[in-house]
Structure 1
Amino acid sequence: MNPRSTATAHVDTFARDRLPPPDQWPDLRFDLPELRYPDRLNAAAELLEGGAGRPVFRTPSGDVWSYGELRARVDRLAHLLTRDLGVVPGNRVLLRGPTTPWLAACWLAVLKAGAIAVTVLAQQRPSELSRMCEIARVRHALCDIRCVDDLAEAGVPGLRITTYGGDGPDDLLRRPAPSTPYPAVDTAADDVALIAFTSGTTGRPKGCAHLHRDVLAIADTFSRHVLRPRADDLFAGSPPLGFTFGLGGLVIFPMRAGACSLLLERAGPRELLPAIAEHRVSVLFTAPTAYRAMLAAPGTYDLSSLRRCVSAGENLPAATWRAWYERTGLRLINGIGATELLHIFVSAADEQIRPGTTGVPVPGWQAEVQDAHGRPVPDGEPGLLAVRGPVGCRYLDDPRQREYVRGGWNITGDLYVRDPDGWFRYVARADDMIVSAGYNIAGPEVEEALLRHPDVVEAAVVGRPDARRGQVVVAFAVLKEGAERDAEALRAFVRAELAPYKCPREIVFRTALPRTATGKLQRFRLPGDGYAESSAREDAGSPTGRETGGDRQ
């Protein structure tokens, strides 16, 4: 398919003009009948098709929005965007706030009006916001009144900030607006619908442009064929809507199925457990760390309503999978996705699940393991994960496009092994492999060994430069409350689990490990370079991060 085969509805063609040239796009595959979308398509209009009286969003306070109420509110917002704020199709509109029904409604209104949603995190700081606005040339922003200070402090030239949720007469939700339906802009299926930014604090973040058909494609592949939601499901989870993991799991997937989502402003393990029990959540999206934390949490909660639990964001250790299964009887659906590809593309569910593996290519996707020259490696040997399907990486005006897309494949930056029967097993991030005295050591393997110790709650492994060995393995561990911090005993435990050369030279005890808002472990924030502290002392350092190759889900 020609990457840009239909006439755009965008008046402002900034994003479309800055997509990579066609020869730098990955090969796109639309092999399933449900992926053959019409040339004209507005993703928001498609998602809003649920039955008018059915619930679509719930909140912990008891608010319930129906699909009919959501449509009316989205239409009202779309009228305000175009009539009062002057937004035209193709404009980029920044969205910022905690996870609420109003943030989701703003996202849908932006798409329905033919504009491009740039959803960012409520936690991001002024300098980060300024960079993203510069890259996407954002001139409009809808911001929860509680999160406006950092956005105003960013000082983006020409940015018009409109707040919602406040008391002022200019508040978005208090402005008078027509109550008539808003006809969805007749966007092309390949018009840009959203720009999602990868994380980056020292380097320039990468803006990933995704099209209207992409929004539906992730629902019509992973959600439809692996997750298999039902209209009576209630979704919940920890990832915010500024992450595509959360956008898919809490908005796109439930709405595509006509289901409902419980939107939590605070969604750590301590909030998830009572929310699941009280509201009878049936589909859960969160990271492996949160599943471990919920297993270790004090108190007893009724989790019997759960029927599907999705884990992504980092590698899911087999020990965590088994512990969750023993506690709940539920098989965790492991998966790997990326911001560049919008959501999960390798996974497995139900009886297909094999603990310790990620799974197989999701229907509609293809995957293989390649060497550095793009050649497939034999089964059983590690190499770079390469994938292709209906969605592909399209960095916005960024030369790093050539690094991520090679030979028509998206190269995710993950090292994988494909087993002879086709299952894909995670090894490490390509840039996190530790090479010590000529040995290749995968940090996640050492972490899994540490997590098998009954006192270890969390573990992270990094390489520290060493003059003699090149690198040595350093482990950071969080123990159960009251457990003895005995580094040598823990090292002995690992030596009994793994080959001696994989055993950490140092073990540092911490009260917590650095993580993203979705719970993804940030190994790059752990002191490896030049670190030479006592292995038995508490380490409280947390230097600022560096940019990694791509955002994992």
Structure 2
Amino acid sequence: MYSAHQDTFARDNLPPREWWPELLFDLPEYQFPEKLNCATELLDKHVAEGRGDRVCIRAEGLTWTYADLQEKANRIANVLVQNMGLVPGNRVLLRSANNPMLVACWFAVMKAGGIAVTTMPLLRVKELTPVVSVSQSTFALCDAALAEALLEAQEQEQEPVLQHVLFYNTDAADGLEALMAQVSPQFENVDTAAEDNCLFGFTSGTTGIPKATMHFHRDVMAICNGWAKHILKPVADDVFIGSPPLAFTFGLGGLVLFPMSVGASTVLLEKSTPEPLLAAVQEFGATILFTAPTAYRVLAGHGDVLRNGTLRKCVSAGESLPVATRTAWRDATGIELIDGIGATEMLHIFISHDESNVRPGATGKPVPGYKAAVLDDNGNEVPPGTVGRLAVKGPVGCRYLADDRQKVYVQNGWNVTGDAYVMDKDGYFYYQSRTDDLIISAGYNIAAIEVEEVLLMHPAVAECAVVGVADELRGQVVKAFVVLRAGHETGEAMVKALQDFAKQNAVPYKYPRQVVFVETLPRTSTGKLQRFRLHTEAETVS
């Protein structure tokens, strides 16, 4: 099979074909030619077809058109090839907060036929070192503001991997910008294969053990032609904004790939906590917002500002969307949240709904071109109304880099996501919990999210998370970690109030028999709850 890659590391470390999931290419939008470069489709095509002067990226004090971005990406690609010696198939570590230069670097890697390994800006040395090692990244383009951890990781390598490192957003004579000024603004994209790897996405570590997922140029275009086209339905005049890092595939899709697939623009924020995010929505006239449920709960308190603003579509993903959060957002803004579940292994969202097909509590239905099912422990599909393991197939699928856990995620052609779901008779899927977080107490199955959603309805609760802890009598009992809103006091009276509230608003056996008050909940840099850390804490203090 044709490949443009001279460095065959990625191809050599793909899982065997028989370990791949079944891929579905039934719809014409998922059928691609043998040769495909996603930079050509997402960036260069706009310029070639006369849309180069359209605004592409905005940030504080900066605006780039599609032509501007193309020129910078071309120059960086020339630096990679001419100055650094990159050949197609080499891995390039990208390290930066969300900013325009990171996007230019990402497209430069695509153009040059490399493989982007974008890292979360919050990663420290101990987390960064294994990413370099697993991906065998020999090149790095790094924001100068994040240089320290990368240089320290490079020093700690037992077997040196990183050989060529350049820093940008710097005036240094040997910095990337200085070298860009010395090379041509023209670059002929490498004629990559549709099945050439173009990015490694590392799982975000909710289980504490991140893995590298491998994605092709074809996969990048498939998610643009899938969820974005059928569910989000953006238009060229949309202005995208959001909080997820571009190293998180939810962020890459929502803030780069999807807007550029229709010639729209995106706003990139280096600081995207709810307060600056709210201000930027107003300043830039954003129309499509991507962020996590936690942020929506905070932003809902500013409904007076948002209700008559520019936002028209709001997407929630990264973790389960509580009914209370959906309701609060709709009441505050008049906008129905678009919910969805995706996975780094699948690159983006595969079950979702649009604003006109919302069913409270449901994640939605499979995106067109995907199939989903709920399986029992033996791999058999279970009838509607039965809790089981979520399994999905589509035009993209899991491929772990040299990792035997491939056989755990892919079973009998299905991608088995590790989520417990139930499907109703109409084909809507309802999240229950992670399969390893289903609480079994005195013979009853209790989904953590059920208890969390009830507690979040209490006016004193800002955030909460629920886990099961060992109990001699019941096997497990429900333990809740609760962050209270300002003005409410911890103590036995509050514990009893929350327990009574849960008994009144859910089946009584599901109430939290243990309640712990905390200042914050442990989350990844993408906002996902790290429930495994709560398990560890619960075992320590129980």
| Contact 1:79–1:177 (8 Å) recurs in 2 | no
The alignment status of 1:312 with 2:349, answered yes or no, reads: no
- Equivalent residue number for residue 528 of structure 1: 538
- Equivalent residue number for residue 218 of structure 2: 213
Q: 1:229 to 1:385 in 2, by over 3 A?
A: same
- Equivalent residue number for residue 547 of structure 1: none
- Equivalent residue number for residue 38 of structure 1: 33
- Equivalent residue number for residue 506 of structure 1: 514
TM-score, normalised relative to structure 1: 0.93
Which deviations, in whole Å up to 9, do the C-alpha atoms of 1:32-63 show, x marking residues without a partner? 1111111000011111022100001000x231
- Equivalent residue number for residue 20 of structure 2: 25
CA distance in 1, matches of 2:185, 2:144: 27
**2:5 counterpart (10, 23, 31):** 10
How far the C-alpha of 1:318 sits from its partner, in A, is: 1.1
Specify which structure has the higher proportion of helix. 2
Q: How does 1:158-173 map to 2 (within 5 A)?
A: 158-159=161-162, 160-173=164-177
- Equivalent residue number for residue 100 of structure 2: 101
How far the C-alpha of 1:258 sits from its partner, in A, is: 0.4
Q: Helix, strand or coil: the match of 1:110? A: helix
Match of 2:516, as an amino acid?
Answer: V
Match of 1:237, as an amino acid?
Answer: G
CA distance in 2, matches of 1:329, 1:284: 14
CA distance in 1, matches of 2:237, 2:212: 35
| Contact 1:335–1:348 (8 Å) recurs in 2 | yes
CA distance in 1, matches of 2:277, 2:540: 38
CA distance in 1, matches of 2:71, 2:233: 28
Q: Helix, strand or coil: the match of 2:259? A: helix
Match of 1:116, as an amino acid?
Answer: I
How far the C-alpha of 1:203 sits from its partner, in A, is: 6.1
- Equivalent residue number for residue 454 of structure 1: 459
- Equivalent residue number for residue 445 of structure 2: 440
How far the C-alpha of 1:301 sits from its partner, in A, is: 5.1
- Equivalent residue number for residue 366 of structure 1: 371
Q: Helix, strand or coil: the match of 2:360? A: coil
CA distance in 1, matches of 2:193, 2:186: 21
Q: Which moved more, 1:105-114 or 1:167-176?
A: 167-176
- Equivalent residue number for residue 551 of structure 1: none
Which deviations, in whole Å up to 9, do the C-alpha atoms of 1:483-533 show, x marking residues without a partner? 23311011100010112211101111222211222221222222221423x
Q: How does 1:57-456 map to 2 (within 5 A)?
A: 57-59=57-59, 61-154=60-153, 155=155, 156=157, 157-159=160-162, 160-175=164-179, 176-200=181-205, 204-296=209-301, 300=305, 304-456=309-461
Q: 1:200 to 1:490 in 2, by over 3 A?
A: closer
| Contact 1:464–1:530 (8 Å) recurs in 2 | no
CA distance in 2, matches of 1:408, 1:202: 23
Q: How does 1:465-484 map to 2 (within 5 A)?
A: 465-484=470-489
| Contact 1:41–1:188 (8 Å) recurs in 2 | yes
Q: Helix, strand or coil: the match of 2:240? A: strand
Q: 1:342 to 1:375 in 2, by over 3 A?
A: same
| Contact 1:93–1:115 (8 Å) recurs in 2 | yes
Q: Which moved more, 1:9-18 or 1:129-138?
A: 129-138
Which deviations, in whole Å up to 9, do the C-alpha atoms of 1:268-301 show, x marking residues without a partner? 1111111111211100001111100112369845
| Contact 2:92–2:114 (8 Å) recurs in 1 | yes
CA distance in 2, matches of 1:180, 1:324: 45
Q: Which moved more, 1:81-90 or 1:174-183?
A: 174-183
How far the C-alpha of 1:212 sits from its partner, in A, is: 0.3
CA distance in 2, matches of 1:8, 1:70: 27
Q: Helix, strand or coil: the match of 2:254? A: helix
| Contact 1:465–1:528 (8 Å) recurs in 2 | no
Match of 1:52, as an amino acid?
Answer: G
| Contact 1:435–1:441 (8 Å) recurs in 2 | yes
Which deviations, in whole Å up to 9, do the C-alpha atoms of 1:80-115 show, x marking residues without a partner? 000001111000000001100100110010011000
| Contact 1:465–1:530 (8 Å) recurs in 2 | no
Match of 1:398, as an amino acid?
Answer: D
- Equivalent residue number for residue 55 of structure 2: 55
Q: Which moved more, 1:165-174 or 1:476-485?
A: 476-485
Q: Helix, strand or coil: the match of 1:528? A: helix
CA distance in 1, matches of 2:369, 2:325: 29
How far the C-alpha of 1:435 sits from its partner, in A, is: 1.4
Unpaired segments of 5 or more residues in structure 2? none
Match of 2:53, as an amino acid?
Answer: G
CA distance in 2, matches of 1:413, 1:490: 30
Q: 1:394 to 1:95 in 2, by over 3 A?
A: same
How far the C-alpha of 1:350 sits from its partner, in A, is: 1.8
| Contact 1:414–1:429 (8 Å) recurs in 2 | yes
Which deviations, in whole Å up to 9, do the C-alpha atoms of 1:110-166 show, x marking residues without a partner? 011000000001111112111111111111100000001101111331412211111
CA distance in 2, matches of 1:304, 1:139: 46
| Contact 1:276–1:303 (8 Å) recurs in 2 | no
| Contact 2:91–2:136 (8 Å) recurs in 1 | yes
**2:504 counterpart (468, 471, 496):** 496
How far the C-alpha of 1:68 sits from its partner, in A, is: 0.5
Share of identical aligned residues, percent?
53
Q: Helix, strand or coil: the match of 2:266? A: strand
CA distance in 1, matches of 2:122, 2:288: 26
Which deviations, in whole Å up to 9, do the C-alpha atoms of 1:326-363 show, x marking residues without a partner? 11111100000000000000000121111210000001
CA distance in 2, matches of 1:469, 1:512: 29
Match of 1:376, as an amino acid?
Answer: E
- Equivalent residue number for residue 549 of structure 1: none
| Contact 1:304–1:328 (8 Å) recurs in 2 | no
Q: 1:164 to 1:450 in 2, by over 3 A?
A: same
Q: Which moved more, 1:464-473 or 1:160-169?
A: 464-473
| Contact 2:478–2:513 (8 Å) recurs in 1 | yes
How far the C-alpha of 1:202 sits from its partner, in A, is: 8.6
| Contact 1:35–1:390 (8 Å) recurs in 2 | yes
TM-score, normalised relative to structure 2: 0.95
Unpaired segments of 5 or more residues in structure 1? 1-5, 533-553
Q: 1:528 to 1:203 in 2, by over 3 A?
A: closer
Q: Helix, strand or coil: the match of 1:221? A: helix
| Contact 1:270–1:297 (8 Å) recurs in 2 | no
